[in-house]
Amino acid sequence: MREGVRLGHVAGVRLSAHWSLVVVVVVVAAGLDRGILPAMSPGLSGDWYALAALVTSVAFVVTIVAHEIGHAVVAGRQGLAVHGVVIWALGGVTNIGGEAASPMAELTLSGVGPAVSLLLGAGLVGLGLAARTAGSPALLAGALVWLGALNVLLAALNALPASPLDGGRMLHALLWHLLADRARATAVTTRIGQVVGLATTIGGLYLMVAAGALEGLWIAVTGGFVLFGASAERRQAKVVASIGDRPVASLMSPMAPTVVPGWLTVHQVLAQRAALGPWPLAVVVDWRGATTGLVALGPLAALPAAQQMAVRVEDLAVPVGSVVVSDPGEPLIELLRRWPDSARWAVAVDRGRAVGALGVRELDAVMARAHRRPGRAGSSDPGLPVAAQGWTKA
């Protein structure tokens, strides 16, 4: 899930909003303004309904943020890296680096979101009922009760035992504890998620087409999201099972022959191209031997002869800050978790010196083998990549 517009920080966590959130606010506000609030408090002017609908829809987004911040705070206390929270059309995503270390830790991490929503819902319903008893305006009391009831519904939906919902992760923690096998627990919960997602999608489409209920579209989209998320987790679990605890060094190619001093001209580098080895990439180092960037060797030959004589390699190198840098001993699955889509290479650096390189082709080959071969039951499974986790809510 892409960040979209950054809104700031809450409890030290970066908060962003996806553009689709605007659709949610508009749809919820329209439903409140045209039907729900007038039925709860008839006889008011349209401006009052519009204002209350807008405030209530924004408040609903705030409660979703609270749900996600609950996940983020618990993750931080467990020592996991929290990369931010994104709010979008179907709820929110908390991007967490790594995974819970034990079934109890995962149960706590996944259960805190629905618990926050449930507590908020009960509190808002109670506050609305108290406001009604105290003689407060019916519009205010009705909006509070509606907002509270929606949060209770949100907690219930997220507690469904289907990955990637919170309930699916809670079920995963329970099965992990009972089976003492994280990989088998993942296989079961993702399969359940696929079944629930498919059934929900079909049910939503039926309501929309046969019964003419517009809500069916939202149900179908939610089901499709669950189906997609569970399928992605299942595929990535196979990759994890195949990789196991292999370090980056097991897949990288030594880079010692392909290190070039940055002060050399392009002409000087091309003159020794045959000695640089088969890799199409060279690590550029400064006079101290420290890595400063990467340069693709192939395009250098296309430069005009005059430029080859005058331009230094360091002037054409991609800065090391824009390259994925790893340690030879880093688990390969951890490198996969933080590998951006735009990156083509990773350099293994040991004590400030480049010692190896890893291309996206090698990673693709590993994942292709994993997709062709099911993961072994009982294999070492350090957990799903962050892209599959996400702690996503519908």
Look up the CATH number of the domain holding residue 324: 3.10.580.10
Same domain, 95 and 195: yes
Compute the distance between CA of residue 339 and CA of residue 204 in angstroms, rounded to an integer: 36
User: Residues 129, 182: one domain?
Assistant: yes
Is 99 tagged catalytic? Answer: no
Give 160-174 pLDDT, tens digit per residue: 888 888 999 999 999
In degrees rounded to 5, what are phi and psi of residue 94?
A: -105, 115
Residues 38 and 180 in one domain: yes
**Domains identified in the chain, total number:** 2
Q: Is residue 284 part of a domain?
A: yes
Q: According to the model, what pLDDT value does residue 274 have?
A: 66
341: pLDDT confidence band, cut at 50, 70 and 90?
Answer: low
By DSSP bridging, strand 345-350 and strand 91-97 are unpaired
- Ranking 39-53, 157-171, 292-306, 373-387 by mean pLDDT, the lowest is 373-387
pLDDT above 70: residue 372: no
| Annotated catalytic residue, options 3, 68, 99, 314 | 68
On whether both 235 and 206 belong to a single domain, the answer is: yes
Do 253 and 194 have their domain in common?
A: no
Residue 379 has pLDDT above 50, yes or no: no
Q: Can you name the residues that pair with 16 across neighbouring β-strands? A: 6, 86
Kindly report, residue by residue over 194-234, the tens digit of the pLDDT: 999 899 899 989 888 887 766 677 788 888 888 888 888 88
**What is the pLDDT at residue 392?**
35
Q: Are 102 and 124 in contact (CB under 8 A)?
A: no
In a shared domain, residues 106 and 123: yes
Residue 214 lies in a domain: yes
Residues 335 and 286 both lie in one domain: yes
- With respect to residue 378, please indicate whether it lies within any of the assigned structural domains: no
Query: Which residue segment(s) compose the domain that 333 sits in?
Result: 248-372
Three-class DSSP category at 105: helix
Residue 149 lies in a domain: yes
According to the model, what pLDDT value does residue 382 have? 26
pLDDT band at 68 (very low <50, low <70, confident <90, very high): very high
Averaged pLDDT score across all residues of the chain = 81
Together in a domain, 119 and 186: yes
- Given a cut of 90, is residue 380 above it in pLDDT? no
pLDDT score, position 374: 42
Residue 52 covered by a domain: yes
Cα–Cα distance, 30 to 265 (Å, whole number): 65
Answer yes or no: do 168 and 127 share one domain: yes
Asked whether residue 222 falls in the same domain as residue 274, the answer is no
Within-domain flag for 377: no
What is the pTM for the complete model shown? 0.67
Same domain, 256 and 126: no
